[in-house]
Amino acid sequence: MTIRRILTVESDLATLKQVSAPVAAVDDDLRRLMDDMLETMYDAPGIGLAAIQVGVPQRVIVMDLAKGEDAPTPRYFVNPEILWASEETAPYEEGCLSVPEIYDEVERPARVRLRYLGYDGAQVEEEAEGIFAVCIQHEMDHLDGVLFIDHLSRLKRDRAIAKVKKAARAEAA
Ligand code: GNR
Ligand code: NI
């Protein structure tokens, strides 16, 4: 497994805005990508990662919502679809590995019903709520080139990007 570079908004915005293409087949090449994504996510560390964040425009997500001492519970989502979303929404303070050090509240449907292919290519349907619902919607946005800051006001979004750019300049200096 290989840790890949995570793309960020100050240098890779055009790539992050791309719409990812459906995966044709869940094969060993795709599983290699998912393994690398998981290792990259754990290293960051983060709780979810979309393939476009490592520069691969395919509809693939990895996630692990296990806390601290708990055993790891990696999850894989290929070609995920939202079949249903609740009318009820919930706010959550979101962050993104592609928008480092920026956190702000986003309001999304509180529960969603999902269909996707797993690591073995089998189709799964399940309902998500809580942090799982937040994270899968955040990741599925990435597949459509949407970042959590796109859900904020233009002022907040522009400030967020300016802040990330400034931090990147300070890092380089
Ligand atoms: O690690 C992450 N934490 C997080 C916290 C609140 C809402 C969403 C997330 S996802 C993020 C990793 C990431 O950027 N995935 O795309
Ligand atoms: Ni993100």
**DSSP notation for 44-108:** TT-SEEEGGGGT--BSEEEE----TTSPP--EEEEEEEEEEE-S-EEEEEEEETTEEEEEEEEEE
Count of domains for the chain? 1
Kindly tell me if the per-residue pLDDT of 12 is higher than 90.
Answer: yes
Query: Could you tell me if residue 4 is inside a domain?
Result: no
For ligand 1, the distance from its centroid to the CA atom of residue 49, given in whole angstroms, is 7
Question: Which residue range is the domain that position 64 belongs to?
Answer: 9-172
- 59 CB near ligand 1 (under 6 Å): no
CATH number at residue 143: 3.90.45.10
pLDDT at 1: 86
Kindly tell me if the per-residue pLDDT of 172 is higher than 90.
Answer: no
Query: Are residues 45 and 68 in contact, defined by beta-carbon separation less than 8 angstroms?
Result: no
- The predicted model scores a pTM of 0.97
Kindly tell me if the per-residue pLDDT of 173 is higher than 90.
Answer: no
- 138 CB near ligand 1 (under 6 Å): yes
Nearest ligand, measured from the Cα of 41: 1
**41-75 tens-digit pLDDT:** 999 999 999 999 999 999 999 999 999 889 999 99
pLDDT at 68: 83
Residues catalogued as catalytic: 139
Cα 159–Cα 163–Cα 167 angle in degrees, nearest 5: 175
Neighbours of ion ligand 2 (CB under 5 A): 96
Query: Could you tell me if residue 1 is inside a domain?
Result: no
Residues 6+ apart with CB under 8 A from 70: none
